[in-house]
Amino acid sequence: MTTLNSKIPKGPIKDKWTTYKDKIDLVNPANKRNIDVIVVGTGLAGGSASATLAELGYNVKAFAYQDSPRRAHSIAAQGGINAAKNYQGDGDSTYRLFYDTVKGGDYRSREANVHRLAEVSANIIDQCVAQGVPFARDYGGLLDNRSFGGVLVSRTFYAKGQTGQQLLLGAYSAMNRQIGRGKIQMYNRHEMMDVVIVDGKARGIIARNLVTGEIERHSAHAVVIASGGYGNVFFLSTNAMGSNVSAGWKIHKKGAFFANPCYTQIHPTCVPVHGENQSKLTLMSESLRNDGRIWVPAIKEDAEAIRAGKKKANDIAEEDRDYYLERRYPAFGNLVPRDVASRAAKERADAGYGVGHNETGEAVFLDFAAAIQRYGKEQAKIKNLDEKDAVLVTRLGKDVVEAKYGNLFQMYEKIVDENPYETPMMIYPAVHYTMGGVWVDYNLMTTIPGCYCIGEANFSEHGANRLGASALMQGLADGYFVLPYTIGDYLSDDIRTGKIPTDTPEFEQAEKEVKEKIDFFINNNGSKSVDHFHKRLGKIMWNKVGMSRNEKGLKEAIAEIKALREEFWKEVTVPGAADTYNEQLAKAGRVADFLELGELFAKDALERNESCGGHFREESVEEDGPQKGEAKRDDENFAFVSAWEYKGEPSDAVLHKEELEFNDIELKQRSYK
């Protein structure tokens, strides 16, 4: 077995990044002009990396499948971005952010990477403010903060409920400046089809112009993959419709190891599935759990009556309600971390207490009635009004809730057609984020020399569970402050290389393979649509590789996905032509990759016979004591990163282990009781 070299610098954790930066090789400004870098994806990671590399003087070629870099799915992030600024003076520090992130990730992330992330977090906020990102401010004109799950300080910066949008537009504006200067060549509506390896190094990509269907060769001295997460392997997720694993999967097939594919974040508060024709799921921000109380009926007959539409939430008496999070986790109550809250909702629904009156029946209530009364009484006191006037108190309370969560309540009402101020919201967990991804070393380089992977697409910072408001932080840290240093160290060897030619056998071969696959899809003339297969894959994943996993289910999933993949290649139909705008063709390629990833995902989940973070194995639970029934981590046998090497079929993939060392943080069981 090969040992993976994570290239973590030596020395105390506080000094690693600083010492590293002092010692790396640099490229002089005149030489940077002769070096090309390809960036695939223009979300927070890819957008910020493209802009920064271009500012430094490299020639950047950026690729997005959307019609503009501004539409990458980072734009949909709601809550906020963490940074260890300690503006609130509440005891925050770089160390605390580092500690919270490692603990929140259930001790399955790499200490050195997480510490570096915490170190640069404060720079991100400075940078974004300088770009004109309109973060929320208080009346003194200074930046405001709020608190998120799993932490004891207020370190989250936000721009209403649209923090991701504003940060992405900031990165997009930095890109626009460089596009205007000609330092970034932007390829919108382009999809990366494969990576090209020359003499063992990543030297370019094959791309398809999604408007004309043209297959293009693009060369560079390094290739950066920033293509986001792979939650759409479940078909239904909070990801955008086009989000896909293909860029990451293509480099995996050319030698990049894929790490921890089974680490998936299922977010507890999403609008439930309404039926078979549903195309995506919508998130309701974690911040709602600050004020909302989660419950289901305590009596099974009541739950059945609600599902049948014979009773409504407000018909259930207070004493007949089961506030199950408050019951099971008195210390954290409704604010337990995402993985714990999601599993608890599933447990109740599986036991027959779900309340969804949708076609699927799966939902629990998120109730703001108590918060409305509490805020209303407080307001009545402040305004010196009659706090016994029930109508007045309710109105005042609703005003407060509207000011805090108005946009989310409006979004909910549009989707569900119920007024959440009057009746509790119905919510249910949904696939949201993937902590797993392409394996990278401390430099963010994959196991292919010259091929980097940043943002959600890599595996590095969040371990087995990501804390709220940390995804935005990681994307921008990688793109603005980490990659621009680490890539220079690699490119310093390329100052004499000159332009990489594209008329070589390596490019020719890669292009030929891409064209063959496209021809196959167009000429296959099967009987079933691409979506048909994607939906079936999603069902297997959700039922057997979802929130709760066991050996039997995982083995079945592996067999079923393999069979589905074989059927896909026989029966898939792609209408239209190759040399035109053809969304079905683009989708076919993406689903083909999901059908391979899905199997590796299940295999990884089977291999990891412990419960950690978002990965819950039914075989690994606490059997006695106060933690009975809770997830049981196994540090003795599983404190490692699983990095899979491609060998053909997913079943042939070879496991490499990167042992995780915890020198600065003591491993402990997470308890929320």
Q: Which residues, numbered 83-142, are part of the site for another protein (CB under 8 A)?
A: 85, 87, 120, 123, 125-132, 134-142
Give the nearer residue to another protein in terms of CB position, either 182 or 625. Answer: 182
Is residue 78 within 8 A of residue 159, CB to CB? The reply is no
Using CB under 8 A as the binding criterion, the count of chain residues that bind another protein stands at 81
Q: C-alpha angle with apex 411: 372 to 281, nearest 5 degrees?
A: 115
- 253, 274, 312, 374: which one contacts another protein (CB under 8 A)? 274
Would you put residue 668 in left (φ > 0), alpha (ψ -120 to 50) or beta?
Answer: beta
Residue for token pair 């249910």: 428
* CA 569 – CA 665 distance, rounded (Å): 48
CA 160 to CA 131: how far, in whole Å? 18
Measured from the CB of residue 408, what is the shortest distance to another protein in angstroms? 11
Contact by Cβ (8 Å): 335, 385: no
- Of the pair 51, 206, the CB lying nearest another protein is at 51
Site for another protein in 433-472 (CB under 8 A): none
What number of H helices and E strands is found in the chain? Answer: 19, 19
**In the range 556-585, which residues lie near another protein by CB under 8 A?**
573, 575-576, 580-581, 583-584
Characterize 474-513 residue by residue with b for buried, 16 or more Cβ atoms within 10 angstroms of its Cβ, and e for exposed. Answer: bbbbbbbbbbbbbbbbbbeebeeeeebebeeebbeebbee
Choose between 47 and 268: whose C-beta lies nearer to another protein: 47
Q: Interface with another protein includes 14 (CB under 8 A)?
A: no
User: For residues 49-78, which are near another protein according to CB under 8 A?
Assistant: 51-52, 55, 66-68, 70-73, 75-76
Q: Which is nearer to another protein, 48 or 219 (CB)?
A: 48
Kindly tell me which of 5 and 68 has the beta carbon lying closer to another protein.
Answer: 68
Q: Which residues contact 599 (CB under 8 A, 6 or more apart)?
A: 558, 561, 562, 565, 650, 651
Residues 660 and 430: their CA atoms lie apart, in Å, by 29
Instruction: Check residue 529 and give left, alpha or beta (phi > 0: left; psi -120 to 50: alpha).
Output: beta
Compute the least distance from the CB of residue 538 to another protein, in Å. Answer: 14
Structure tokens at 475: 């994307």
What is the smallest separation between the CB atom of 367 and another protein, expressed in angstroms? 22
We find the least distance from the C-beta atom of residue 95 to another protein, in angstroms, to be 19
Q: Which is nearer to another protein, 9 or 449 (CB)?
A: 9
Q: What are the phi and psi torsion angles at 313 (to 5°)?
A: -55, -45
Give the torsion sign (CA, 549, 653, 106, 267): negative
Looking at residues 144 to 183 of the shown chain, list those that interact with another protein (rule: CB under 8 A). Answer: 159-160, 162, 165-166, 169, 172-174, 176-177, 179-180
| DSSP line for 368-435 | -HHHHHHHHHHHHHHTT--TT-HHHHHHHHHHHHHHHHHHHHHHHHHHH-S-TTTSPEEEEEEEEEE-
Helix intervals (H) in 132-227: 163-181
Site string for another protein, 15-54 (x = CB under 8 A): ---------------------------------x--xx--
* Interactions with another protein, residue window 631-660 (CB under 8 A): none
Coil, helix or strand at residue 206: strand
8 Å CB contact between 427 and 272: yes
Query: What type of residue is 482?
Result: V
Of 5-13, 336-344, 480-488, 543-551, which part binds another protein (CB under 8 A)? 480-488
Using the minimum distance from each CB to another protein, give the nearer residue, 41 or 484: 484
For residues 362 and 599, which CB has a smaller minimum distance to another protein in the complex?
Answer: 362
| Closest distance to another protein from the beta carbon of 164 (Å) | 8
**Binder of another protein out of 230, 295, 480, 638 (CB under 8 A):** 480
Kindly state the smallest distance separating residue 598's Cβ from another protein, in Å.
21
Q: How far is the CB of 301 from another protein (least distance, A)?
A: 26
Q: Which CB, 464 or 586, lies closer to another protein?
A: 586
For tokens 């419950």, the residue is 295
Considering only residues 368 through 427, tell me which ones interact with another protein, judged by CB under 8 A.
410-411, 414-415, 417
Q: Single out the segment in contact with another protein by CB under 8 A; choices: 195-203, 240-248, 464-472, 643-651.
A: 240-248
Q: Residue 468 or residue 479: which is nearer to another protein going by CB?
A: 479
CB 92, min distance to another protein, A: 14
